[in-house]
Chain A
Amino acid sequence: MTTPLTKADVERIAELAHLELSDAETEAFTQQLAEILAMAMRLQEVDTTDIPPTTHVLSRHEALRPDEVRASLTRAEALANAPDGTTEEGFFKVPRVLE
């Protein structure tokens, strides 16, 4: 079973994934992802009628805790790994959002 996957599909996925692909990458991924998806299509052989999807494995406990303020990173620590020159007055700075 083959999966038709076109160059246009790959370009659309790249856009969703926020990746800019070179022409060579687009070409290679079109072929490689088609092969991988053809392998993935084998799952369609399995009858999964009324089989619930796994949402978590081995969870035996409720992972809730009181909503209390706790110590965490300082603002300076949280900002310390921002790219050079991209923080200002305690904020991350990004390029313009609106065109």
Chain B
Amino acid sequence: MTGPLPSIDAIRLAVAGGDTSAVDICRQALDRIAAGDGRFHAFNHVMRKRALERAADLDASRRPDDPRPLLGVPIAVKDNLCTQGAPTTASSRILEAFIPPYDATVVTRLEAAGAVVIGKTNCDEFAMGSSNENSAFGPVRNPWDPARSPGGSSGGSAAAVAARFVPGALGSDTGGSVRQPASLCGVVGLKPTYGRVSRYGLLAFASSLDQIGPLTLTVRDAARLLEVIAGPDARDATTSPDAVPGYTDALTGDLRGVRLGVPSALLADGVDAEVERAFQQASDALKAAGATISDVALPHTAYAIPAYYLIAAAEASSNLSRYDGVRYTRRAPLDPADATLMAMYDRTRSEGFGAEVKRRIMLGTYALSAGYYDAHYLKAQQVRTLIRRDYERALGTVDAVLMPTSPVPAFPLGERLDDPLQMYLLDVFTVSANLTGLPAISVPAGFTQARLPIGLQLVGRAFDEETLLRIADGYERLATWWQEAPPAS
């Protein structure tokens, strides 16, 4: 496909107005995926039949001035979101044959809004990773350079949007898993406030950190998707009862008087020179448009990575204990002489989980075990309180914190695979938003000389996605990087 993909709103208007049909739009998306995804492996599973039936239903039920906000819009969802009757694997061998008996709330809401859920996107196994190389089914490749990682863990969702297969996708973000791949693939990625979007039907990784968010080409499209998926849900007790504002109404383009804070101390080390240059240019553009930029102190964010990895691993070790060979499709064959319950647990999990998932289960089990709980897990939760206080203080004086999303652009597949610690350190700018629950967004902010996308991140106040999206949209109007498509897409 050439040129920019029509936006979500443009597709909806074309379908609602009868200029095209939901089936045509769906077929075009399916054709793009069939023609192009052999190179990128963004999808684990394309729901061709379900999507076409769904699109035909929409065409049959379409009314003049149909108010459904996503009428006929094809959307991809990460393969850790349950889809009734369609495989949901979290890119793990242990769930290779899992067919959920229900839809995730976000899937139900997308479809109620007229969207066509078209397929399940590849990701790091159980969303654990920053490169997509932990998928049991092979990595996703970055549409800007197929030899490089798309980022992770929602790399398939990011690549599917970057490659213009779909105008929008959902991912999940536990430590940056929506924002970092968005940054590396040159698309918009939003992690809403903890509690803004129901996680019912999201395969749990770290329940105090997980949040579902949209990946799109534009901020307006992200706002549109958030309007649809946000809101209270009796099936997820962590959802906020607060009403969902009209996020697209907040996009005024006005940046005058916006106060932004840059945590200079955090950015002092380890940021790639080209990322730093793009960040500086973005700051200058925001300033020229009327925003004020000041330094903010977030002293405890220097400890965000260790706090995050202990907490996330601890919660994962608990959440993943359910995959035990009893309820979820896979049980290791057992020697009759040794067919005990314990052998079934141990063997099923050992052959079902990949290396990174095992590593995190091990780390989490250690952090929660007797004698180490206080020194590791409890300490991490105390440091988390200090990080939250840092942000509370900073966001008392600025409207959003501004920093790069990732310290580096997309890196070659394989380059960091053998050194888990180096991979973890890539999450330095993203994990704080999960530890604090605050909303954060990554928007395209330019390219390296080698044409690799660079992302700009904004972290805002809790449940104030309106301000966050307004600033991000204001920036996007100044810097229309999203209009550039990767080669051969």
Within 8 A of B (CB), among A26-57: 28-29, 32-33, 35-37, 39-46, 48, 51-57
Q: Is A89 an interface residue (CB 8 A)?
A: no
On whether the beta carbons of B366 and A13 are closer than 8 Å, the reply is: yes
On whether the beta carbons of A19 and B303 are closer than 8 Å, the reply is: no
Q: What residues of A have a CB within 8 angstroms of the CB of B305 in the complex?
A: 39
Q: Whole-angstrom distance between the alpha carbons of A32 and B419 in the complex?
A: 8
Q: Is A23 an interface residue (CB 8 A)?
A: no
Q: What residues of A have a CB within 8 angstroms of the CB of B383 in the complex?
A: 43, 46, 48
On whether the beta carbons of B358 and A19 are closer than 8 Å, the reply is: yes
Q: What residues of B have a CB within 8 angstroms of the CB of A54 in the complex?
A: 208, 381-382, 384-385, 388, 435
Chain B interface, >50% SS class:
helix
Q: What residues of A have a CB within 8 angstroms of the CB of B339 in the complex?
A: 95-96
Known: A19-B362, A73-B101. A52 touches B382 (CB 8 A): yes
> Which of B343, B362, B378 meets A53, CB within 8 Å?
B378
> Which of A40, A45, A48 meets B376, CB within 8 Å?
A40
- The residue among A17, A53, A92 with the most chain B CB atoms within 10 A of its own CB is A17
Chain A residue at minimum C-beta to C-beta distance from B307? A43
For the complex formed, measure the closest distance between the CB of B299 and the CB atoms of chain A, giving whole angstroms: 10
- The residue among A13, A57, A94 with the most chain B CB atoms within 10 A of its own CB is A57
Q: What residues of B have a CB within 8 angstroms of the CB of A60 in the complex?
A: 240, 242
Q: Chain B 276-315, CB within 8 Å of chain A: the 1/0 string? A: 0000000000000000000000001001011101100000
Q: Is A86 an interface residue (CB 8 A)?
A: yes
On whether the beta carbons of A96 and B340 are closer than 8 Å, the reply is: yes
Q: Chain B 205-216, CB within 8 Å of chain A: the 1/0 string? A: 000100000000
For the complex formed, measure the closest distance between the CB of B270 and the CB atoms of chain A, giving whole angstroms: 14
Within 8 A of A (CB), among B371-409: 375-376, 378-386, 388
Within 8 A of A (CB), among B310-338: 310, 317, 321, 324-331, 334
For the complex formed, measure the closest distance between the CB of A61 and the CB atoms of chain B, giving whole angstroms: 5
On whether the beta carbons of A63 and B361 are closer than 8 Å, the reply is: no
Q: What residues of A have a CB within 8 angstroms of the CB of B194 in the complex?
A: 57-58
On whether the beta carbons of B328 and A81 are closer than 8 Å, the reply is: yes
Q: What residues of A have a CB within 8 angstroms of the CB of B331 in the complex?
A: 83, 86
For the complex formed, measure the closest distance between the CB of B239 and the CB atoms of chain A, giving whole angstroms: 9
Q: What residues of A have a CB within 8 angstroms of the CB of B421 in the complex?
A: 32, 35-36, 39
Known: A16-B365, A40-B309, A81-B98. A46 touches B341 (CB 8 A): no
On whether the beta carbons of B388 and A57 are closer than 8 Å, the reply is: yes
Known: A43-B379, A43-B380. A13 touches B365 (CB 8 A): yes
Q: Is B417 an interface residue (CB 8 A)?
A: no
Q: What residues of B have a CB within 8 angstroms of the CB of A33 in the complex?
A: 359, 362-363, 366
Q: What residues of A have a CB within 8 angstroms of the CB of B271 in the complex?
A: none
Q: What residues of A have a CB within 8 angstroms of the CB of B380 in the complex?
A: 40, 43
Q: Whole-angstrom distance between the alpha carbons of A54 and B375 in the complex?
A: 15
Chain B residue at minimum C-beta to C-beta distance from A58? B437
Q: Is B152 an interface residue (CB 8 A)?
A: no
Q: Is B14 an interface residue (CB 8 A)?
A: no
For the complex formed, measure the closest distance between the CB of B157 and the CB atoms of chain A, giving whole angstroms: 24
Q: Whole-angstrom distance between the alpha carbons of A55 and B307 in the complex?
A: 14
For the complex formed, measure the closest distance between the CB of A52 and the CB atoms of chain B, giving whole angstroms: 6
For the complex formed, measure the closest distance between the CB of A23 and the CB atoms of chain B, giving whole angstroms: 13
On whether the beta carbons of B241 and A58 are closer than 8 Å, the reply is: no
Q: What residues of A have a CB within 8 angstroms of the CB of B340 in the complex?
A: 95-97, 99
On whether the beta carbons of B381 and A53 are closer than 8 Å, the reply is: yes
> Which of B98, B344, B381 meets A94, CB within 8 Å?
B344
Q: Is B78 an interface residue (CB 8 A)?
A: no
> Which of A14, A41, A78 meets B101, CB within 8 Å?
A78
On whether the beta carbons of B386 and A46 are closer than 8 Å, the reply is: yes
For the complex formed, measure the closest distance between the CB of B377 and the CB atoms of chain A, giving whole angstroms: 9
Chain B residue at minimum C-beta to C-beta distance from A80? B101
On whether the beta carbons of B102 and A73 are closer than 8 Å, the reply is: yes
On whether the beta carbons of A17 and B99 are closer than 8 Å, the reply is: no
Q: What residues of B have a CB within 8 angstroms of the CB of A77 in the complex?
A: 101
Chain B residue at minimum C-beta to C-beta distance from A40? B306
On whether the beta carbons of B238 and A10 are closer than 8 Å, the reply is: no
Q: Is B345 an interface residue (CB 8 A)?
A: yes
Q: Is B420 an interface residue (CB 8 A)?
A: yes
Q: Whole-angstrom distance between the alpha carbons of A30 and B305 in the complex?
A: 20
Q: Whole-angstrom distance between the alpha carbons of A58 and B392 in the complex?
A: 12
For the complex formed, measure the closest distance between the CB of B142 and the CB atoms of chain A, giving whole angstroms: 26
For the complex formed, measure the closest distance between the CB of A2 and the CB atoms of chain B, giving whole angstroms: 13
Q: Is B447 an interface residue (CB 8 A)?
A: no
For the complex formed, measure the closest distance between the CB of A87 and the CB atoms of chain B, giving whole angstroms: 10
Chain B residue at minimum C-beta to C-beta distance from A15? B346
On whether the beta carbons of B325 and A20 are closer than 8 Å, the reply is: no
On whether the beta carbons of B362 and A29 are closer than 8 Å, the reply is: yes
Q: Whole-angstrom distance between the alpha carbons of A56 and B101 in the complex?
A: 30
Chain B residue at minimum C-beta to C-beta distance from A48? B382
- The residue among A21, A28, A54, A78 with the most chain B CB atoms within 10 A of its own CB is A54
On whether the beta carbons of B343 and A95 are closer than 8 Å, the reply is: yes
Q: What residues of B have a CB within 8 angstroms of the CB of A14 in the complex?
A: 362
Q: What residues of A have a CB within 8 angstroms of the CB of B99 in the complex?
A: 80-81
9 shortest A-B CB distances, which residue pairs? A53-B381, A57-B437, A63-B237, A83-B331, A48-B382, A77-B101, A17-B365, A20-B350, A54-B384
Could you list some 6 contacts between A and B, CB below 8 A?
A33-B366, A46-B386, A48-B383, A54-B384, A58-B462, A61-B241
